[in-house]
Copies of this chain bind each other. A is one copy, B any other.
Amino acid sequence: MKAHVHITLKNGVLDPQGKAVQNALGALGFEGVGNVRQGKYMEIDLDESDPAKARASLEAMCEKLLANTVIENYKIDLEA
């Protein structure tokens, strides 16, 4: 089973990397670019085939390693 995990900064947390991208796009001549928020994206292959167990395991992984839950949110999508 394949999982897609998105890790994004919580609202209100400053995102200097996104801001730098926004400024760089402006400097390159792209107009009408508003807020840019940058996050991480992971594709994880799991041996587990039960979706509920896979999700529980992925949540534990996010809490323990993948996301800093003080400042980041995570979203788990399982591929059918």
User: Which residues of A come within 8 Å of B, CB atoms?
Assistant: 6-8, 18, 21, 24-25, 28, 30-48, 57, 60-61, 64-66
Contact = CB atoms under 8 A, between A and B. Distances in A.
Please state the number of chain copies in the assembly.
2
Nearest to A54: B32
Contacts of A34: 44-47
A6 to B, nearest CB: 6
Nearest to A60: B30
A46 B33 contact: yes
B41 A6 contact: yes
Contact of A35 (B6, B28, B45): B45
Given A30-B61, A36-B45, A39-B41, 14 more contacts: A8-B43, A28-B64, A30-B60, A32-B46, A33-B46, A33-B47, A33-B61, A34-B46, A35-B45, A36-B42, A36-B43, A38-B42, A40-B40, A40-B41
